[in-house]
Structure 1
Amino acid sequence: MRSAWLEIDLAAYRANLAALRAHCGAGVLAVVKANAYGHGLVPLARAALAAGAEALGVALPEEGAALREAGDPALAAARIVVLGPALPEQATMVCDYRLEPVIASAEMVAAFALAACERALRLPVHLKVDTGMGRLGVEPDRAPALCQRIAAEPHLALAGVCTHFARADESEEATRAQWQRFLPVVEWVRAHAATSVRLHAANSAAALWFPLSALDWIRPGLATYGVNPGERPPPVPLRPVLALKARIALVREFPAGAAIGYGGTYVTPAPARLAIVPLGYADGVPWSLGNRGTLLVRGQPVPIRGRVCMDQILIDVTNLPGVAPGEEAVVIGRQGSATLSVEAVAATAGTIPYELLTRMAERLPRRYRDDAASA
């Protein structure tokens, strides 16, 4: 077994999802796109359904297909919404795997109606409304007409109407402005569409700090993985789900003046003991942590020396006598009373938690914990 790995706490994930649902008083479309933000698509999708999620959100039809093909009856029956744009040539896959696409134009309506007709099925679709994200969606004043067009298609069924907030993590004013643009659409849907149509807008940040926008479903991603999507303290407790750990492979003694790693960007100012940790940027550790980041060894922060390599990191354990190969080093997570959070590591690396998590490589084994008693 590889000596670097991810630990994933499924009980913590379920607890986060339940806390968000209780905070908002709405159903949950659990976002598991991008390999469940690096945590593992199928195990986290199963955990979401076990925690009461009403639907799963993916970005690509291929992700939805992977869930259907996982051999799990719950995933075979689950509602799976494709949040990203599906091209016309992907409409057949969406139909074949009984996915629910998000539609953002009249052309997409036509493409999915044709694919569904060819398969003699009625395809549930969600209409996306652009209220200020400037990405996917129709203008709010065009939404009622497109809803009516979908309803008139015998092989389509309007399953949802949604929007997406651009700045819910940083600006209540901007979020409220988007909400006000979406409200007339909400009112029209409630007055004219079937009661089964799900209205959804709130991402993680909106679910936490603007729960007024919860509607029928919230659509959280990052917060379900225990990571704060904004700068403010979250109004509900979030439990970290992911830890990145490795075993020290080698400890070496270096004299003063030794150049370390590619480019010789670190030169030992005095005799030093450096430990080699067998993971690197090919595993998702940001290259930018070179000479900036820290790991935890024996519950103490130790600095990275030199550049982060593709497969290795060197850390300075000079002040920890007796550190030996086989001891645990933590890149993300808790060790003793010390913690390196996803948020802190991302900030040191000059990136965002979303990017840090979704960089976690497939070659890292994922070890799943499920202490149901702690959920």
Structure 2
Amino acid sequence: MFWLLQSGCSSPVTPKAEVPLQEKTEMAESPIKEERLQTEEISHFTIPKVLEQKTTVTQGISQAKKILSPKLAPGDTIRIDVVDEKEFSGSFVISHHGTIIHPIIKEVLGQGKTVEEFTKELKEKFSAYLVDPVVNIAVTWVDRKVYVSGGQKKLEVINLTPNQAITATQLLMNSGLPEDADLAEIYITRNLPGQREQKIVIPMQEIIETQNWDKDVVIESGDFIVIPKSSKVYIHGKVVKPGVFSISKKEPLSLWNLILLAQGPMNEADLEHIKILRQNNTKMDVRIVGVSVHGAMPLEANDIVLVPSAIESVVTIYGEVKKPGTIPVSKNTRLSTVLALAGGLTEYASNWIEILRYTPDGKTEKFSVHFKKILAGEKDQDIELKPGDVIHIAASIF
């Protein structure tokens, strides 16, 4: 596959032969540290279609405003022809340092440059020896590999058509994004010759919303794209749709907005005695708030919001149970009954169960009991619950 350019020309000339689509290839040596690869599962796939240089992006992204040009990378073979100057001409392979070694002008950096940029630089260097040299370049491109990590210990290797130019946003929208991706925190790590590893932030959320393509970044061979998982908050109790919702560092989520995301409160919801559970080092803090005063309060990652009922006595159970949520209780209801109504523990549950109780004087009491002792019939472990109690079953670390 070749790319031809003559100095002074404004656009590339490609041969008429059809360019083959991307093919799956075996994973070659990558710039990623070997030990990193050994700890991550690797899968291969290719972009579903070749994007034109004036590219478009699927799933609602409009046409890009700029024409992209592919950049040279280690392994590419450069055929340099200087008209009537054989000693300046020849074929050169870009080394892993990103350079070629020319017999006259010595070491020249090619990695990261377009063919037009590299041709212009060669002409400038040759001009120290020749009068108005005419420089022609042909490139034989090597396969391009880009590495994408979705934050779940799985590494994906994307093979690009060698002379294909594509931006980070276009690449990720075509190859697919995880549902829990934090679009405001995506970044690229890139190794350039003679430089420290670069971290390049891709404001993908802003790019998609504003169509500001100037903030997008053209992918280079060997780039490692990291897609962080968005943080989560949880809401249970008397809302229409309890569940898990994403939260972004750059766009804080307020208590009231979380309730709206859960499709609003139910008629019997007590919005002035909402419990917010927040992990503080090794302990769980419980705070009771009302939306009339604290509705705009920003939530933090992993907060658990419990919206109680104003007309019935309930306890809330969450964590490693099969049916988390609120459960009505009456006088003398014991923990074993609530565990049964919650469908029992999951296979990942710890045997230790925590009960948090908010007292009228504003303090939080904490009880820890052992599930196997409850099964053995020990009454002091199968404690009697009170309305408003919060039951937490953590995941076992073994």
Interval containing the TM-score (normalised by the shorter chain): under 0.3
Higher RCO, 1 or 2 (CA under 8 Å, sep at least 6)?
1
What TM-score comes out, normalization by structure 2 length? 0.23
Q: Pick the structure with more helix per residue.
A: 1
What TM-score comes out, normalization by structure 1 length? 0.24
Q: Pick the structure with more strand per residue.
A: 2
Q: Compare CA radii of gyration and give the structure with the larger one.
A: 2
